[in-house]
Structure formats: structure tokens, C-alpha cells
Amino acid sequence: MLIAIGSDHAGADLKRELAAFLKDKGINLIDVGPDGSASSVDYPDYGEKVSLLVSGGQADRGVLICGTGIGMSIVANKFQGIRAALCSEPLSARLSRQHNDSNILVLGGRMIGSVMAREVLGVWLDTEFEGGRHAGRLMKITTIEEKTSQDEPRQP
């Protein structure tokens, strides 16, 4: 499995820890940066890099970290084919894989401790999509995505 990982300055320390965790597991990584937390950077820039790699098939899955995880979630879910899940505990991480086939895990670097983050990431990596009734729901998301990418802004 090839994982793309990125953060902003608020997630850079946790990114470094999780990159080491993934390497220990023998997982190949593309680290899009930033290189450390010293300079303030903008989360949309790094969210876009990881989302494009996953959306374009150059990475199997992605991990994004900002302070709360909220900004990265908003960014990642703008991209075609991305199902980004902000998780703070293992049950959500497991269900985001089983039911939603989440392909980007988002973590809040200022919200979660590193032990919990590793646990969440480990569960997320090891859990497969269940398919079945959930596959039809994902197809509906794809249909919405196709419609909204072509349409002018609509009323609900």
C-alpha cells in the first residue's frame, strides 16, 4: 500500500510521528510536507497535494493532519472520488472504512494524542470496505459529485 501524508504546521509534529509509525509497518509513503512546524503554512495547499495523489490514483490512500482536522476535511472532500473521514477514536475509523470506504483519514493534531492517533491509524489501515448495501450508497455520492461538478449553483 502507498500512502500520501501531509499536514499544516499544526499537524507537522504528529505527521512526523505517524510517518515513522507507517514506515515501521513497512508501508510506502509519499510525504508532501511541510518539513517541520517552524513556519506557518496554509492547510489547503497540503490538503490539495494529498487529495490529488489519492484522487488521481498515484497513492492508494491518504492521511491529512491540521490543528482540528476540520480544515483538511473540508478541503479533501472537494476532490473527486475523495471520501475523507475526520476521526478521533478507533470505532469511527473502523466504520469509516467498513461503511464509507474512506480513502483519506483526517486527524486533528491539536485534538488527539499520539498514542490514540496511532491506534486510529492502525485500525483504519487494517479495515476493509464491506461493500453490499454500502456500495450503492457510495454510487449515489458519485452521482451527486458528477452532477454538482457540472451544474451551476442550485437551490436545494
The residues that touch ligand RB5, with contacts defined as CB under 6 A, are: 8, 10, 43, 66-68, 70-71
Residue number of the CB closest to ligand RB5 reads 71
Nearest to 47 by CA among 60, 58, 33: 33
Instruction: State which residue, 79 or 125, has the beta carbon closest to ligand RB5.
Output: 79
C-alpha span between 94 and 101 (Å, rounded): 10
- CB 127 to ligand RB5: min, Å: 25
Residue 9 annotated as catalytic: no
Q: Which three cell numbers stand for residue 27?
A: 508501508
Instruction: State which residue, 67 or 90, has the beta carbon closest to ligand RB5.
Output: 67
Residue 99 annotated as catalytic: yes
Burial 87-107 (b: 16+ CB within 10 A, else e): beebebbbbbbebbbbbbbbb
- CB 67 to ligand RB5: min, Å: 3
- CB 75 to ligand RB5: min, Å: 9
Nearest to 74 by CA among 97, 36, 48: 48
Residues forming the active site: 66, 99
